[in-house]
Amino acid sequence: MQTEEQIKEMVQKKYADIALQTKEENETSCCGSGCCSSEVYNIMNEDYSTLEGYHADSDLGLGCGLPTQFAKIKKGDLVIDLGSGAGNDAFIARHETGETGKVIGIDFTPAMIEKARKNAEMRGFNNVEFRQGDIEQIPVSANTADVIVSNCVLNLVPNKNKVFSEIFRVLKPNGHFSISDIVLEGILPTELREAAEMYAGCVAGAIQKQVYLELIENNGFTNVTVQKDRPIIIPDDILSKYLSPEQIQAFKDSGKTIRSITVYAEKTCCGANCCN
């Protein structure tokens, strides 16, 4: 069993490698166009290309949803993107918040921060900022954000409860979040849960859907709503790296599912403790 620090080091190294590749290279490694699959990162990705503010060279194909589409961002909002990568969701959020708003992207991996900053600089986006940091300790003051978004990132964090606590702290009273993430319904086979690559690919780090939603409520959020819910199908050639043919069939027959959900919740201020 890996420690939390070992998991973080593994994830940081893997995503540093990914930061040096283009989306096309990432998709090639996943055989996004056809024949086979050798990686798990891109099988969950959704199409961003129709969203306003989309810039293809900031899209590394690493998400599992479209949280900015559901985030109810208004002009002038301050938006924080947790796990901002090369800047994809941050730039779409910038389009929604406009010139009068601001977007702060937080990422754990220095190579991703460098790539995102270059993408923002070459577009002259002076109201988008990228900070390196651990989202278990978000490098932002309390009561700062109107909206928080995140796309397939909490799975990579060992202490998800701490992240939701930090999100509550950083949101303004009556602020809200929209987060896309991977959850489970049923227990994954042990071989998948223990595979480092499956963790970095947002699968082995997933927790049960009901537990995930309870973590949100237990941290004081209200109006918790699942905005989107869809199954994730892992191709057989990926499963075969960890499971025998008989185990693969048993997994498929079990009814256990890996799901991408987008969740909305609000920090409703109803007392002094809410604002501390």
- Alpha carbons 260 and 254: distance in angstroms, whole number: 19
pTM of the entire predicted model: 0.85
Domain count, the chain: 1
Note down the domain range covering 18: 4-269
- Alpha carbons 92 and 56: distance in angstroms, whole number: 11
Quick one: DSSP state of residue 244? -
pLDDT per residue as tens digits for the range 170-185: 999 999 999 999 998 9
- Alpha carbons 17 and 9: distance in angstroms, whole number: 13
- Alpha carbons 37 and 137: distance in angstroms, whole number: 35
Of 166, 160, 134, nearest in space to 212 by CA: 160
The answer as to whether 9 is a domain residue is yes
What is the CATH classification number for the domain harbouring 185? 3.40.50.150
The answer as to whether 274 is a domain residue is no
Quick one: DSSP state of residue 242? T
Given pLDDT bands bounded at 50, 70 and 90, which one contains residue 91?
Answer: very high
pLDDT exceeds cutoff 70 at 25 = no
Kind and range of the H or E run holding 264 = strand 257-266
pLDDT per residue as tens digits for the range 63-87: 888 999 999 999 999 999 999 999 9
The answer as to whether 276 is a domain residue is no
